[in-house]
Structure 1
Amino acid sequence: MSDAGTDKGGDDITDTLNPFMPSPEDLQHWTSVMARAQQMMLDFALGQADAGKAAAPLFDPTRWLGSDGAQMWAEQSAKMWEQGAAFWTQLATLTPGFTPATPAESPKDRRFADPDWTANPAFALIRQTYGLLSDQLLETTRQLSGLDPEARVRMEFAAKSMTEALSPTNLAITNPEVIKRAVETRGESLLKGLRHMLADLSRGQLSHVDPDAFEIGVNIATTPGKVIHETGLYQLIHYTPATKDVFTIPLVIFPPWINRFYILDLNPQKSFVKWAVEQGLSVFMVSWKSADATMKDVVWDDYVAAQVDAIDTIRDLLAVPHVHAIGYCVAGTTLAATLAMLAAKGEADKVRSVTFFTAQVDFELAGDLKMFVDESYLTLLQQLSAQGYLDGRYMAATFNALRGRDLIWNYVVSNYLLGNDYPPFDLLYWNGDVTNLPAKWHRQYLVDLYRDNRLVVPNSLSVCGTPIDLRKIETPAYIQAGREDHIAPLASVWRLMDHLSGSKTFVLAGSGHIAGVVNPPAAGKYQYWTGDNAAASLDDFTASAAETKGSWWPHWIGWIAQQDGAKTPAKGARIPGKGKKKAIEDAPGRYVKQR
């Protein structure tokens, strides 16, 4: 070798070495990586064993590796890796000039953004094969005969979820970006990804952000205020005025109890609460308690009673006859029931106006969530809720599954395979800050509303002993919907226009269930549409609707002022804790921090 090297020249020898052959230093480093990975997995396994000794609820998310389903998943993953290795072996026999056929033009897919998916023949073939198999599976599912519409929807959803899960981007061995990152970092990216994955397994939940990046009340949910009222179900926050005078009629916000209220108070730049206070509103927020075993008998009546209690508490505190009320998502559904009950009892005047954020009352067109109300799913929920409440991590997994590509597999690749740092994104932190649900009420909600759609049947349901009929609601209503909402679809939210009897203003916001609502004017994002509120159908409304760039919030505050523009000095009971309701603690309170 030394003579040959002398004949050809040392530089030539260096040039002909395999560029992918690891140096001794690289081999030593990779050995270290593997040793550290083995130690991490051993520590995790020991931790799981210790956790298994303690009593835990059925299907505890933090111990999912011990379930039959997880073992099956592991076996299938192993097979996929074996097949992937075999595939690469076969590719090695291809002739150097092999190039797969150019794929047909299709919408851009961010999963395949790396240039090697097109430029490298091997990866181009993998991508093309995956595309063909995915299309074939989806088309076969659509052509199945003998299925009723609901079964067909479930089959298509399952097929779509399967194709997303089987994407070659989700495996390290068939993702060129992952391979290049691993080579560049000498395996450190894979080790970091493993650390992320084991941490998530310990938590029983997929992380979208660093769980330690935010602290409630410190850098998120920071609008000043006081908790001035508390029950076993909720805390009532009164926010500090930011103007000399305030609207005489106060505003109470009912957020959904399936999430934390601070989606409306993420940070000063995005906070609807802060913005509403700056517009001169006396703002009150309900902070629901995350369910525990003591709430096993909580039902819908309790949430309706809580809404009435909050309304009456504010009316008494400020000595006003009525309030403006906002209901977001499921809390908006419940607010409609509350208004129907108040109307039936002759107490409708307690609420001067109602605003619905992406709320539904008619669930005929409720979208993909209706797939989770059949008997098999309800039976599973009963098993998962044996302790009297449903662990919020299961609900989070359900919502993530509705957008699996964006909310599951995207983060599997980024967090686990690429080992990327978590982004400091407050919205994603909120999304992972789950709440538990009372088991009895959760099942009642799914059966009575989603499955049987009884809320729109006059007097089919009773709340607090009073039969309710939505047609009796004459409270002026502002109805906001998201054009791309997959939780409360636009067509479903529109049905509010059909069932309420008072004056109604419909606003269609750009984006979806969250960004369509949380869209501060200063951001200059999206748009909204207004139109003929007497339109006979959604199609008629959209056909003549006028588009306005930016946030719909200024339009809403203008509508609020039209209901009653009277102002009063921001003093006395308008200052949190200065009236008959003394401050219990600073906002955002204890309940929002409980898991």
Structure 2
Amino acid sequence: MAKTSSDEAAGNPFAAMLEAQARWAEMMFAPLPQLAKDGDADAPAALSDMQKWAENATRLQTMWLEFCQSHAIEATGEMMAGDPAKWFAMFETWTQQLPFADPAEQQRWWAESAQLWQALMLPQGEDDGSEGGALDLPREDRRFADPRWREQPVYALLHQTYLMLTERVLAMVEKMDQVDPAKREQLKFATQAMAEALSPANFAATNPIVLDRIMESRGESLVKGMENLLRDIQKGQLTHTDPDAFVLGENLATTPGKVVHETPLFQLIQYNPSTEKVLGVPLIIFPPWINRFYILDLNEKKSFVKWAVDQGLSVFMVSWKSADASMKDVVWDDYIAAQIEAIDHVRKRLRQSAVHTIGYCVAGTTLAATLAVLAEKGELDKVKSATFFTAQVDFSEAGELLHFIDDQQIAAIKSLERDGFIDGRYMAATFNLLRGNDLIWNYVVRNYLLGEDYTAFDLLHWNGDVTNLPARWHQQYLQQLYRDNLLVKPGRLEALGVPIDLGKVDLPTYIQAGKDDHIAPATSVWKITENFGGPMRFVLAGSGHIAGVVNPPAANKYQYWINEDEDIGSLAEFREGATEHPGSWWPDWIEWIRSQDAKEVAASGKRKPGSGKTDKMIEPAPGRYVKSR
């Protein structure tokens, strides 16, 4: 027997949220016919408003019923692919361990609450000592910057109480000395995430801006918000930007090039030269397989790829395939083998003995292992230099992602596997959670509660263009690297039949870290310098994991720090003696690349992919793999 909508909502968090919103809207609309009374001079306008309200109420109710019947919930009670209900299971262990205040702490809370309530509920401009009736609020937060949060005492009281309680709960977690420090940090993170979710700004009935928009639009904003919400639930992912604003190869990833090599795991793109001469040593970029490569080729103004080509480099880019059921047995060895295959292919294609390499994020971690494998085999001379963008090899200080890496969380992540891979939407939700206010709740308010139109933003489009991950390797990565930190322990890991020892990597290395990086903290990236041999140049860039890397010189944004002292023992020492330089670090990098080998050759022959009759190409850039879902 099919479930009723009420039964469905009881067993499904998203369904319950939808039904609650529909009922709330119905209750809000119900009194509206009383607005137009017989004999009112404004009766025609009021009747018109009533009609608009009624139409929007009907649209909301119809959307909800149609969604329940045709999309959201089957007779089994299960949601569609990308079921958001599973996300709650990932954090169940946190919610069970959240702390509660002791009696003395509760008394202090009540006392401070009473003082706050008394201060905010006094008549404005009389006894509160403020000028012109303005409320003097003890706590500030950008979520409540709009004057409407202060103009009405009830909303001021609401958000100030929320901020006070959040502050107190987090302080209480901080004082849990009897708890293991790592567990305490995990609890602190979980508590912060829950507090962000419970903000009064995130609920229509407690957000004055949302209520004003509802009244101004006669309920139209609720209808648009519901449309946005239902659409996101159907695709199992929060939308940040206009989904129709960007097309790969047209206004994203537009640097001209050709796919010159292809395997079941990756495509290799070679970009067309833009200079008459190029450096003899080519460059291969290994982007992370947890994202699409075009973060380095967003558009002409932001593209690292185009900029590198314009500097006279022969640039190759690896485009990883998004995992599917055919990749259920893929492990780290396969990615290391792929990097070596790409290196050998470029060397053979351009008849060069060595290549420059770049590894970004997890692909940088893998590049470190690849270099160690080559060193063990006596083949490290295939690589002229290695550059690392926000990459880690020692995960002892890997930042907020460590909150997801205990045995319980790893087991929860494993439960998300299907057909041998993990849906990229779960990873996207995880990374968004690290900056919940900016990447989740801000858009919940804008998209669902205010019903605003989506903007066109290439970076956010890329952020939502997720890739699936091979489940077997993803589990090993979390366990062996993040949890057990085996990569920096010589011989504890092996790949392609040889032990991995980073201490044998002895070649010129350029290491870039982001000052505000929350995914690969600078303190963690720095540890590469403690594990490699050979000359190293460490650069600390302004901003974080993305903007710290994608910072073209023409933008004149941020800054970077260099310390030329060759005897530096820690990141703190680096900072103390570092010189700040304005703008992008890219010019420093290309100068360093040229210092490794400045020899140039003509940009002809196979330096121009597909220019000769015998140089048959697979397809134009950006290729098929980056478009696969």
Distance 1:385 1:117, change over 3 A: same
C-alpha contact 1:62 1:203 (8 A) present in aligned 2: yes
Deviation at 1:353, TM superposition (A): 0.4
CA distance in 2, matches of 1:433, 1:67: 19
**1:47 Cα deviation from its structure 2 partner:** 2.6
* Residue of structure 2 in register with 1:80 after alignment: none
Report the counterpart of residue 23 of structure 1 in structure 2: 46
In structure 2, give the amino acid aligned to 1:285.
Answer: M
2:307 maps to which of 275, 279, 290:
275
Match of 1:577 among 610, 613, 625: 610
Query: What runs of 5+ residues in structure 2 fail to find an aligned partner?
Result: 1-36, 93-116, 129-134
1:65 is displaced (CA, Å) by 6.0
SS at match of 1:453: coil
1:80-107 CA distance string (max 9 Å, x none): xxxxxxxxxx99xx8866999755555x
- Counterpart check, 1:566 vs 2:589: no
Greater CA drift, 269-278 or 175-184: 175-184
The alignment status of 1:461 with 2:484, answered yes or no, reads no
Are 1:100 and 1:121, in contact at CA under 8 Å, matched by a contact in 2? no
Residue 216 of structure 1: aligned partner: 248
Identify the match of residue 434 of structure 1 among 445, 466, 471: 466
> 1:189 aligned to 2:221?
yes
2:254, 2:390 → 1: CA distance?
Answer: 24
Partner of 2:541: 509
Residue identity in the other structure for 1:422: Y
Going from structure 1 to structure 2, the CA distance change for 1:62 and 1:52 (only over 3 Å counts) comes to farther
| Pair 68,307 (structure 1): closer, same or farther in 2 beyond 3 Å | closer
Question: Aligned equivalents of 1:148 and 1:61: distance in 2?
Answer: 37
Give the superposition deviation at 1:506: 0.3
Q: Percent identity?
A: 57
Give the 3 Å change call, closer, same or farther, for CA 66–38 of structure 1 in structure 2: farther
Provide the residue aligned with 1:408 in structure 2: 440
Partner secondary structure for residue 454 of structure 1 = coil
How many angstroms apart in 2 are the aligned matches of 1:494 and 1:22? 67
Give the 5 Å matches for 1:314-463.
314-463=346-495
Amino acid at match of 2:353: P
Matched position secondary structure for 1:238: strand
Conserved? CA contact 1:368–1:402, under 8 Å? yes
Note if 1:134 corresponds to 2:157.
Answer: no
- Report how far residue 383 of structure 1 moved: 1.6
Match of 1:553 in 2: 586
8 Å CA contact retained: 1:264, 1:518 = yes
**Secondary structure in 1 aligned to 2:415?**
helix
- 1:53: Cα distance to partner? 7.6
Task: Indicate if the aligned counterparts of 2:354 and 2:382 stay in contact, CA closer than 8 A.
Answer: yes
* Partner deviation per Cα, 1:2-55 (whole Å, 9 max, x = no partner): xxxxxxxxxxxx9xx999x99222122111101001111122222325x7489x
Distance change (3 Å), C-alpha of 1:68 and 1:559? closer
* Amino acid in the other structure paired with 1:283: V
Q: Give the Cα separation in 2 of the matches to 1:590 and 1:331.
A: 20
Q: CA deviation at 1:498?
A: 0.6
Which position in structure 2 is the counterpart of 1:35? 58
The two structures have a TM-score, normalised by structure 1, of 0.89
Q: Give the TM-score taking structure 2 as reference length.
A: 0.84
Contact kept in structure 2, 1:474 and 1:501, CA below 8 Å: yes
Task: Answer yes or no: is the 8 Å Cα contact 1:343–1:472 preserved in 2.
Answer: yes
AA paired with 1:588? P
What is the CA–CA distance in structure 2 between the aligned matches of 1:594 and 1:243, rounded to whole Å?
32
> How many Å apart are 1:465 and its aligned residue?
0.5
Residue of structure 2 equivalent to 1:523: 555
1:100-111 matches, within 5 Å, as 102=135, 105-106=138-139, 108-111=140-143
Rounded to whole Å, the distance in 2 between the matches of 1:351 and 1:584 is 26
Q: Which amino acid is the alignment partner of residue 576 of structure 1? A: P
Structure-1 residue corresponding to 2:99: none
Aligned residues between the structures: 556
Say if 2:82 and 2:425, in contact at 8 Å, map to a contact too.
no
Structure 1 residues 130-173: Cα deviation after superposition (integer angstroms, max 9, x where no partner): 11111121112112242101110111011111111111100111
Q: Cα offset for 1:419?
A: 1.1
1:587 corresponding residue in structure 2: 621
Tell me the SS of whatever aligns to 1:219. Answer: coil
CA distance in 2, matches of 1:293, 1:370: 28
Q: CA–CA distance in 1 between the matches of 2:603 and 2:464?
A: 36
Equivalent AA in structure 2 for residue 26 of structure 1: D
* Secondary structure at 1:384 match in 2: coil
Aligned with 1:511: secondary structure?
coil
Q: CA RMSD in A?
A: 2.6
1:76-225 to 2 correspondence within 5 Å?
Answer: 102=135, 105-106=138-139, 108-225=140-257
Conserved in 2, the CA contact under 8 Å of 1:311 and 1:350? yes
Aligned with 1:513: secondary structure? coil
Is residue 103–residue 128 contact of structure 1 (8 Å, CA) maintained in 2? no
**Partner Cα distance (2:485, 2:306) in 1:** 36
Give the AA of the match of 2:315. V
Provide the C-alpha distance between the structure 2 equivalents of 1:272 and 1:572, rounded to a whole number of angstroms: 24
User: Deviation string for 1:566-592 (max 9, x for gaps)?
Assistant: 100000010112466521000000000
Counterparts in 2 of 1:349 and 1:145: CA distance versus 1, 3 Å? same
- Shift, 1:112, TM fit: 0.7
| Secondary structure of 2:487 counterpart | helix
User: In the alignment, which residue of structure 2 is the partner of 1:10?
Assistant: none
Alpha-carbon contact 2:557-2:584 (below 8 Å) kept: yes
| Distance in structure 1 (CA, Å) of the matches to 2:371 and 2:380 | 7
Higher mean C-alpha displacement, 344-353 vs 172-181: 172-181
* Corresponding position: 1:234 with 2:257: no
- Return the offset for 1:212: 1.5
CA contact (8 A) 1:505 1:533 kept: no
Partner of 1:543: 576
Partner of 2:71: 48
Shift of residue 497 of structure 1? 0.8
Amino acid of the residue matched to residue 575 of structure 2?
Answer: T
Contact 1:211–1:429 (8 Å) recurs in 2: yes
Checking the alignment, whether the CA contact within 8 Å between 1:414 and 1:420 is kept in structure 2 is yes
Aligned to 1:312: 344
Between the aligned partners of 1:267 and 1:349, the Cα distance in structure 2 is 34
> Which residue identity lines up with residue 576 of structure 2 in the other structure?
A
Structure 2 contact 80–234 (Cα < 8 Å) conserved: no
Give the aligned partner of residue 107 of structure 2: none
Using the TM superposition, give the Cα deviation of residue 423 of structure 1 relative to its aligned residue in structure 2, in angstroms: 1.4
State the alpha-carbon separation in 2 of the partners of residues 43 and 569 from structure 1. Answer: 63
Q: Using the TM superposition, give the Cα deviation of residue 420 of structure 1 relative to its aligned residue in structure 2, in angstroms.
A: 1.3
- In structure 2, distance between residues paired with 1:450 and 1:68: 22
Matching residue of 1:257? 289
Aligned counterpart, 2:131 = none
